[in-house]
Amino acid sequence: MSEKVYHVLFLCAGNSARSLMAECALGRYGGGRFRGYSAGSHPRGEVHPLTRQLLERLNYRTDHLRSKSWDVFLGADAPSFDFVFTVCDATARETCPVFPGRPMTAHWGVEDPVACTGTEDKQIKAFRRAYVELESRVKIFTSLRFEGLDRLALHGRLSSIGQSHAPDDVAPEDVVK
């Protein structure tokens, strides 16, 4: 008998950086138990170049990534989601559509690296920091034993994951050299 595969949707406004990073990290650390997706409430229409650059340096495949609206996950052929996570404050304040399934939701807000201005080095560090935070949360999430938690306890754990930050011993500049 095969193990259940959990479908997880990561949402942010632009779907050009954070939600895509989370989708990739879930694919890497989910051990086949999770299938990640991402979308935006107001998609930018393209993957931010620094997102793609960072993910490629971390040996992720990026050819499948695209910025898309959450509307693509509302049709009859959309996956039935088990979890929906917002990764930006703007999306968390929006009224999200009702996605297929009965997904548990939580907010995992991460500072928007796309909004970072300044030198290219400063922008790259902002993207690294966002990735490290999301990677850390995804690792915690994928290590949970869902079968031992009731729905209320699981919701509490998911929300607490959203309060965690990048580990203190990992500097964002150490993610990619």
Q: What is the mean pLDDT of residues 113-130?
A: 95
The HSE-up count of residue 124 (CA atoms within 13 Å, CB side) is 12
Of the candidate ranges 19-28, 86-95, 126-135, the one whose mean pLDDT is the lowest: 86-95
Q: Residue 95: is its pLDDT beyond 70?
A: yes
Q: 36-47 b/e with 16+ CB inside 10 Å = b?
A: bbbbbbebeeeb
**7 falls in which pLDDT band (50, 70, 90)?**
very high
**From CA 48, how far away is CA 12, in angstroms rounded?**
13
The model's confidence at residue 5, banded by pLDDT at 50, 70 and 90, is very high
pLDDT at residue 119, as a whole number: 94
| Cα four-point dihedral sign 162, 164, 167, 172 | positive
Query: 95-118 burial, b if ≥16 CB within 10 A, otherwise e?
Result: eeeebbeebbbbbbbbebbbebee
**83 pLDDT above the threshold of 80:** yes
Kindly tell me if the per-residue pLDDT of 175 is higher than 60.
no
Report the topology of domain 6-174: Rossmann fold (3.40.50)
CB neighbourhood size of 17 (10 A)? 31
The pLDDT of residue 154? 77
Task: Pull the structure tokens for residue 68.
Answer: 């898309």
pLDDT tens digits for 36-46? 999 999 999 99
Note the pLDDT of residue 66: 96
Residue 139: phi and psi, rounded to 5, are -60, -40
**Least confident range of 32-41, 75-84, 121-130, 151-160:** 151-160
- Sign of the alpha-carbon dihedral angle for 136, 137, 138, 144: positive
**Do residues 88 and 12 make contact, with C-beta atoms less than 8 angstroms apart?**
yes
- How does residue 14 score in pLDDT terms, banded at 50, 70 and 90? very high
Q: Decide if pLDDT at 47 tops 90.
A: yes
**Reading across the β-sheet that carries 101-107, which strands appear in turn?**
34-40, 6-12, 81-86, 101-107
Count of all residues that appear for the chain in the document: 177
pLDDT average, residue stretch 33-59: 96
pLDDT at 170: 47
Quick check: 175 and 132 in contact, CB under 8 A? yes
pTM for this entry: 0.87
